[in-house]
Amino acid sequence: MSTSTAVIGGSGYLGGELLRLLSTHPEFALTAVVSSSRSGEPLEAIWPNLPGNRLVTRSDSQELNVDLAFLAGPAGEAMKQVPALLDAGTKVVDLGPDYRLRDPEAYARAYGQPHLDAGHLAEAVYGLPELSRDAVRGARLVANPGCYPTATLLALAPLLRAGEIKGPVIVDAKSGTSGAGASLTSGTHHPEAALTVQPYGTPTHRHVPEMQAAITALTGTSLSLVFVPHLVPLVRGILCSIYPALADAADPAGWPALYESTYGTSPFVHVGATPRLSWTQGTNLCFLSLQRAGDAPVLFSALDNLGKGGAAQAIQNANLMFGLDESTGLRQPGFGV
């Protein structure tokens, strides 16, 4: 029996990617789409890449009566909707930031608004499946990680858990313009973003508290993180160049074995050659590479910010929540060029 599924926030880029992936998912049956800005329109009018899908969007999430809901709205929206959804027996994957930080004061500092559902923060599972599969399987509320944290944490986790690195860790991250969302802003307007590279998010990007909280959960200790993102003239993709400081007893020669033991059976994390963003586009794949720059180690991490950094990872989490193979509906290969 298929799982009735809703997408709340169906007119943004993450919502559109969810709809694209769900259109071929063998178990999750899309029965409702909510869009406050495009309510009453058939999906094929909002997303012409889904021809023939005449499901009409709703204006709100009241009385959805579904087994699974993906929330793809901006900060502050999910926490208004999650309590009612959970009370109705719906399992929830939130692609926004509302449940990624357990500390409501940290959330308020990062997002400039108070948290309205602090009671569910402790219950929410931070859904990075490669590092928390068992917790995700038992969850009814999953906080889908941000795109930058996914790329950064997957690269660093084996070394952090083994005590191989210390702070400061420098993360030089580059992202395509779709990471800014579908609403037009002056910085992501094509004449401003094309033919240039723009650093932004300094001195502290919103995702830094999320990454630091996840690192503390992984290691039990805090870590100094220097994170500088850049907007590049691409639509999709994230590439992180990461420069860790070695712990006193670090043994870089043993690092390949650490990554093999962590990700050797993971269908979506691959360790090997220097990655290209084209390999990741439209997929749930993350490519990692361990290299050296002179005598210093450097890690590369690449993924699709709308895929493994967003919608595809959300479906991977939902697969685990409903007892499916985590790769169900997510076996698309990336592009070669």
Mean pLDDT of 99-123: 96
* pTM summary value: 0.97
The predicted pLDDT at position 219 comes to 83
- Burial class, 41, CB count within 10 angstroms (exposed 0-12 / middle 13-18 / buried 19+): middle
Q: How confident is the model at residue 93 (pLDDT cuts 50, 70, 90)?
A: very high
Of 3.40.50.2020, 3.30.565.10, 3.40.190.10, 3.40.50.720, the CATH number of 3-123 is: 3.40.50.720
- Tell me how far apart the alpha carbons of residues 319 and 54 are, in angstroms, rounded to a whole number: 25
Angle at which helix 147-161 crosses helix 255-263, to 10 degrees, equals 120
Give the contacts of 160 (CB within 8 A, at least 6 positions apart).
Answer: 215, 218, 219, 223
Query: For 172-208, how does the pLDDT look when each residue is reduced to its tens digit (9 = 90+)?
Result: 999 999 998 888 788 888 899 999 999 999 998 999 9
- Tell me how far apart the alpha carbons of residues 328 and 325 are, in angstroms, rounded to a whole number: 6
Between the two ends of the chain, the Cα-to-Cα distance in Å is: 39
H-assigned helices in 48-204: 78-87, 104-111, 129-137, 147-161, 190-193
- Tell me how far apart the alpha carbons of residues 317 and 34 are, in angstroms, rounded to a whole number: 21
Q: Which two tokens stand for residue 221?
A: 């200790």
The predicted pLDDT at position 187 comes to 85
Catalytic-labelled residue, pool 121, 147, 162, 240: 147
Catalytic site residue 147? yes
Considering Cα of 232, then 315, then 278, then 299, what sign does the dihedral take? Answer: positive
The predicted pLDDT at position 222 comes to 87
H-assigned helices in 49-103: 78-87
Query: For 264-297, how does the pLDDT look when each residue is reduced to its tens digit (9 = 90+)?
Result: 999 999 999 999 999 999 999 999 999 999 889 9
Q: How confident is the model at residue 139 (pLDDT cuts 50, 70, 90)?
A: very high
Query: For 21-46, how does the pLDDT look when each residue is reduced to its tens digit (9 = 90+)?
Result: 999 999 999 999 999 999 999 999 99
Percent of the chain at pLDDT > 90 equals: 91
Instruction: Map out the domains of the chain as residue ranges.
Output: 3-123, 148-305
- Name the superfamily (CATH) of residues 148-305: Dihydrodipicolinate Reductase; domain 2 (3.30.360.10)
SS3 108: helix
The predicted pLDDT at position 220 comes to 86
- Burial class, 265, CB count within 10 angstroms (exposed 0-12 / middle 13-18 / buried 19+): exposed
Q: Where are the beta strands (DSSP E) in 123-276?
A: 125-126, 141-143, 165-175, 198-199, 225-231, 238-246, 269-271
Considering Cα of 179, then 183, then 185, then 191, what sign does the dihedral take? Answer: positive
Q: Which residue has the tokens 């990471």?
A: 179
Q: How confident is the model at residue 225 (pLDDT cuts 50, 70, 90)?
A: very high
With a cut of 80, say whether residue 1 has pLDDT above it.
no
Picking from 267, 244, 285, the residue whose alpha carbon sits closest to that of residue 150 is: 285
By DSSP bridging, strand 165-175 and strand 225-231 are parallel
